[in-house]
Chain A
Amino acid sequence: MLKNNIILFILLGILFLLPLSCGKQQEHPILKIGLHEEPKTLNIWLASDANSKRILSLIYQPLYLRDPETLDLIPWLAAGPAEFHPETISYTVRLRPARWSDGSEVTSKDVAFTGNLINEFKIPRHYSVWKFIKKVETPDKHTVIFYLIKPKAIFQDRILTTRIVQKKEWSQVVETAKKKKKPLRFLLNYKMDNPVGCGPFVLMEWQKGTYLHLKKNTYFFGKNKRINGRLLGPYIDDILFKNYGTSDIAVLALKKGTIDMFWWGIQPGYLKNLQQNKEIKVFFNKKSALYFMGFNVRKKPFDDVNLRRAIAFLIDKDFIISRILQGYGTRMDSIVPPVNHYWFCPDADCYGKGLNRKKRIIKAYHILRNAGYTWEVPPVDHSGQVVPGKGIRTPDGKLMGKFEILTPPADYDPLRAMSGLMIQEWLRAMGMPVFSKPMAFGALLEKVKGQHKFDAFVLGYGSLSLDPDYLRNFFYSANDKPRGWNMSGYKNKKFDQLADQSASEMNPEKRQKLIWQMQKILMADVPYIPLYDPTLIEAVRKDTFSGWVNMVDGIGNIWSFCQVKPVSKWKSENSSLKD
């Protein structure tokens, strides 16, 4: 009897709960977005994870941002282009009328405060750019003048795209921080419960671990205005961000309609399934990314450019793209991604393009043989046929020692782990004693970046800035130090000179030539072998919202969130147009 009652009670309970799964019909449409992980913080100075940055990008705004089509910097919070004054090495920026989400006016004082805060606290990831600012003047409340210590090419791309914070909100925090023993730590750990921004959305509520709710900012400066030819909203009142620990569940949620967009790259394996669903729209966008194989050129035998070039020939990038990336990627033949049209050098040395396996091996064999390498069994026999190579010896006659290609593990990035394995096989065909070794990402970075104890590695940058100043960061001699970004230990005086020139060259055309020369040097010396730039695959529901804007690095950009409309609104507008 008791047993039956319990079963009945459980069944009734489940029946009672079932209607909840249908969810409540909202009075106004809410854009529901799936995130791969919860944001870690809403303190803009601490935020270093992708999801925190994404949320904050809808709240805090920069003076300039990129046009989605041309990728040119266009005025956003600024009223017009920045004016450069060479005689004083200064830039003047005028602000457009704008208000913070608390209703107060955005003024030049806020911009100056933001810059001073970064320089005073030496905020990591910002200070390296802002330290070249001598002072910021505010002649009136809508004019800002930035004085530079010396001409700096990255000024526009980096300083003018810094997100501006409200002086009123942060000044008290800054004053308290200054009195602390560790001011920077206090500032970074400051709990920002309700960030005041001037972007299209403001924080409504954050239920940690479950959802984050943004609401339309009624004071948004772009509302109903045409900026860069685009009529801006936002046309949605609310955005709900939900967390999805795995892509499997996020894809199901998208198909079921629990979310309208998954703000994360989708693996090609899900594509067929998604494309079969009529309510799903898939977007393909290029990324400003670089996935590469790097060498430790500080040590033998990788200090030999001939060996690096031969390896570059042996790597079949097209195979990696067609098989490992399932066709969703672009071959890279320079450190700058091809999608970055202006800075990408189209005529740098290109290795193995269009060659089949046999020709690649023969090419690599000739390079190495001419450089003095010998084999017990050469990979190319007397008749010119390719055979498995064995016992490769370096020009000094020594047997090449075993070496490792470090890669992230497959659960972190299957593409890089698999690429490492394939490269291992291609190099073994030449008789090289190579082993691909996946290891925990933190351990890999510590070995490569911290200790420099490695032979070769496969790593990548998922989101490079569109300004190519990173070329200098990655290969400048002085950056060859523990934790420095010159992980390969590459040193080239000519490259350093060009890098210095490019950093201070304010003329874009002249700088382009310098950047192209830098790329040519790098592709000739190959401290890194660029491999691929994966295509960003994103999916949305097309029966709920429409108007997503394609851009490098995906549809999750500020233009999309200012232009996306409920489908019902699109339909009613279109029908009224027809009437």
Chain B
Amino acid sequence: MEIRKFIFKRLIEILVIFFIILTVLFVLLRLSPGDPISRIVDPNMTPEDAQRLIAQLGLNQPIWVQYGYYLKNFFLGNLGISFHYGQPVTSIIWSRLFNTMILFTTAVILSALAGVYLGKIASWHKGEKTDTWLTLGALVCHTLFLPWVALILIWVFAYKIGGFPLNGMISAEIWTDPASGYWLKLLDVAHHMILPLVTLFLIHFGSYLLIMRSSMLDTLREDYILTARAKGLTEKVIRNRHAAPNAALPVITSVGLSLAFSISGGALTETVFSWPGIGRELVFAVSNNDYPLAQASFLLIAIVVLLSNLAVDVLYMYLDPRIRY
């Protein structure tokens, strides 16, 4: 199938899937117990107050009327106003999106680069000490409990040794000081990023390493590797030019999806490091029945994941001309 035709067909599929997600999301959130008012434990909130608020939020209307407004507003580009923040959800998500991306996307890229590189090395030295230690290290890191790693890193490097900030994304002391310049503020953000980045790196690089190692071992058994050796190519060239690019295909799928999901952040990492990202907001929105905020966050993730899938498929076709859908 022609690439253009394939992309067009996939875009149509994406639209259908997205519409299904749009509907399922609406239904699921409303099926969850309670409503945005039910969690306000304040004896001064009378049933009449609650009813008035429910009416103001439009939640007293029949569910299909609410669904109609939901679809209409979505297609008009209006994702609504957060029940708890009282602000348009787009502005809330937008303010958090950059923070999430700068941390999580960087972490995915760094982990993938390291994972691919080390996976390549491990497979090349299969059965040797290098392979054993790298594989063992990857397995251990992959199974570590994220908050535990985060707390240990904070305790050692931020509290005991004291080289890093305990949490947050910026130092209020630097940002409130009018004398602080642009570069100092930029460095401050970088400084705050190191510990969460190391945590995410430690947790994630192992999976890429293991995928790469396994894929590389399969590739090394291929005939064209034998041919390359017969041609008298150096081991380095065979490994880096012939085996690794072919073995990296499964990793690309994994990285593509991880990159897409990275915009949803991570509630645990963001909570431990008080990183002002989307992950915590998403958890807050769902647990507090803040429908507009939850809907908008999930829809954003859905769009990015669907488009990333498409991008990965196209990339596959580009990297391996044998692949056609």
Q: Which residues of A contact B170 (CB under 8 A)?
A: 207, 210-211
* 8 Å CB contact of A129 from B33, B44, B53, B190: B44
* 8 Å CB contact of A26 from B158, B162, B173, B276: B173
Question: Does A246 sit within 8 A of B, measured CB to CB?
Answer: yes
Binds A, one of B81-89, B223-231, B309-317: B81-89
* Number of residues on chain A facing chain B (CB within 8 A): 76
* 8 Å CB contact of A442 from B38, B85, B176, B280: B38
CB of A11 to closest CB in B, whole Å: 12
Give residues 143-195 of A contacting B (CB, 8 Å).
Answer: 182, 184-185, 188-191
Question: Does B144 sit within 8 A of A, measured CB to CB?
Answer: no
Question: Does B271 sit within 8 A of A, measured CB to CB?
Answer: yes
In the complex, the answer to whether A482 meets B34 with C-beta atoms within 8 Å is: no
Q: 1/0 per position for A182-219, CB-CB distance to B under 8 A?
A: 10110011110000000000001101111101000000
Question: Does B297 sit within 8 A of A, measured CB to CB?
Answer: no
Q: Check A125/B49 contact, CB under 8 A, given A209-B96, A210-B172, A256-B159.
A: yes
In the complex, the answer to whether B85 meets A24 with C-beta atoms within 8 Å is: no
Give residues 454-482 of A contacting B (CB, 8 Å).
Answer: 461, 464-465, 470, 473-474, 479, 481-482
Question: Does A7 sit within 8 A of B, measured CB to CB?
Answer: no
In the complex, the answer to whether B86 meets A208 with C-beta atoms within 8 Å is: no
Q: Check A21/B52 contact, CB under 8 A, given A128-B46, A211-B175.
A: no
Give residues 246-262 of A contacting B (CB, 8 Å).
Answer: 246, 248-249, 252-253, 255-256, 258
In the complex, the answer to whether B99 meets A209 with C-beta atoms within 8 Å is: yes
Q: Is the interface of A mostly helix, strand, loop or mixed?
A: mixed
CB of A252 to closest CB in B, whole Å: 5
Question: Does B287 sit within 8 A of A, measured CB to CB?
Answer: yes
In the complex, the answer to whether A17 meets B173 with C-beta atoms within 8 Å is: no
Report how far A9 CA is from B290 CA in the complex, Å.
45
Q: 1/0 per position for A234-256, CB-CB distance to B under 8 A?
A: 00001010111110110011011
Question: Does B131 sit within 8 A of A, measured CB to CB?
Answer: no
Report how far A24 CA is from B190 CA in the complex, Å.
17
In the complex, the answer to whether A207 meets B175 with C-beta atoms within 8 Å is: yes
Report how far A481 CA is from B47 CA in the complex, Å.
8
Report how far A125 CA is from B164 CA in the complex, Å.
43
Q: Which residues of A contact B274 (CB under 8 A)?
A: 242-245, 249
* 8 Å CB contact of B187 from A20, A191, A240, A441: A20
* 8 Å CB contact of A23 from B53, B167, B174: B174
Question: Does B289 sit within 8 A of A, measured CB to CB?
Answer: yes
Report how far A71 CA is from B29 CA in the complex, Å.
44
In the complex, the answer to whether A242 meets B172 with C-beta atoms within 8 Å is: yes
Report how far A77 CA is from B175 CA in the complex, Å.
34
In the complex, the answer to whether B176 meets A213 with C-beta atoms within 8 Å is: yes
Q: Which residues of A contact B52 (CB under 8 A)?
A: 122, 124, 184
Q: Which residues of B contact A479 (CB under 8 A)?
A: 47
* 8 Å CB contact of A20 from B33, B176, B188: B188
Report how far A483 CA is from B52 CA in the complex, Å.
12
Report how far A16 CA is from B155 CA in the complex, Å.
21
Q: 1/0 per position for B35-69, CB-CB distance to A under 8 A?
A: 10111111111111111110011000000000000
Q: 1/0 per position for A266-309, CB-CB distance to B under 8 A?
A: 00000000000000000000000000000000000000000000
Q: Which residues of A contact B47 (CB under 8 A)?
A: 479, 481-484
Give residues 110-157 of A contacting B (CB, 8 Å).
Answer: 122, 124-129
CB of B185 to closest CB in A, whole Å: 10
Question: Does B128 sit within 8 A of A, measured CB to CB?
Answer: no
Q: Which residues of B contact A242 (CB under 8 A)?
A: 168, 172, 274
CB of A363 to closest CB in B, whole Å: 33
Q: Which residues of B contact A393 (CB under 8 A)?
A: none
Q: Which residues of B contact A255 (CB under 8 A)?
A: 159
Question: Does B306 sit within 8 A of A, measured CB to CB?
Answer: no
Report how far A103 CA is from B287 CA in the complex, Å.
42
Q: Which residues of A contact B174 (CB under 8 A)?
A: 20, 23-24
In the complex, the answer to whether A245 meets B167 with C-beta atoms within 8 Å is: yes
Q: 1/0 per position for A425-468, CB-CB distance to B under 8 A?
A: 00000000000000011110111011000000000010011000
Q: Which residues of B contact A16 (CB under 8 A)?
A: 187
* 8 Å CB contact of A248 from B57, B87, B151, B288: B151
Report how far A13 CA is from B197 CA in the complex, Å.
14
In the complex, the answer to whether A20 meets B42 with C-beta atoms within 8 Å is: no
Q: Which residues of B contact A124 (CB under 8 A)?
A: 45, 49-50, 52-53
Q: Which residues of B contact A441 (CB under 8 A)?
A: 39, 287
CB of B36 to closest CB in A, whole Å: 10
CB of B88 to closest CB in A, whole Å: 9
Closest to A35 in B: B274
Report how far A240 CA is from B174 CA in the complex, Å.
12
* 8 Å CB contact of B43 from A46, A209, A443, A461: A461
Q: Which residues of B contact A23 (CB under 8 A)?
A: 171, 173-174
In the complex, the answer to whether A442 meets B289 with C-beta atoms within 8 Å is: yes
In the complex, the answer to whether A246 meets B271 with C-beta atoms within 8 Å is: yes
Question: Does A14 sit within 8 A of B, measured CB to CB?
Answer: yes
In the complex, the answer to whether B45 meets A125 with C-beta atoms within 8 Å is: yes
Question: Does A40 sit within 8 A of B, measured CB to CB?
Answer: yes
Give residues 1-34 of A contacting B (CB, 8 Å).
Answer: 13-14, 16-18, 20-21, 23-24, 26, 30, 32
Q: Check A249/B166 contact, CB under 8 A, given A129-B44, A256-B159.
A: yes
Report how far A388 CA is from B33 CA in the complex, Å.
38
In the complex, the answer to whether B177 meets A244 with C-beta atoms within 8 Å is: no
Q: Which residues of B contact A48 (CB under 8 A)?
A: 40, 42
Report how far A43 CA is from B135 CA in the complex, Å.
54
Report how far A184 CA is from B49 CA in the complex, Å.
11
Report how far A427 CA is from B32 CA in the complex, Å.
32
Closest to B277 in A: A209
Report how far A443 CA is from B34 CA in the complex, Å.
6
* 8 Å CB contact of A240 from B40, B46, B169, B176: B176
Question: Does A334 sit within 8 A of B, measured CB to CB?
Answer: no
Q: Which residues of B contact A64 (CB under 8 A)?
A: none
- 15 additional A-B pairs beyond A125-B40, A188-B86, A253-B166, beta carbons within 8 Å, are A17-B187, A17-B194, A20-B188, A21-B164, A23-B174, A24-B180, A48-B40, A122-B52, A125-B44, A184-B53, A207-B170, A211-B168, A445-B38, A450-B38, A482-B47
Chain B contacts to A: CB under 8 angstroms? 32-35, 37-53, 56-57, 81, 84-87, 95-96, 99, 151, 154-155, 158-159, 162-177, 180, 184, 187-188, 190-191, 194, 270-274, 276, 280, 287-289
Q: List 8 A-B contacts (CB under 8 A).
A: A23-B174, A24-B173, A125-B49, A128-B44, A207-B172, A210-B169, A240-B176, A450-B38
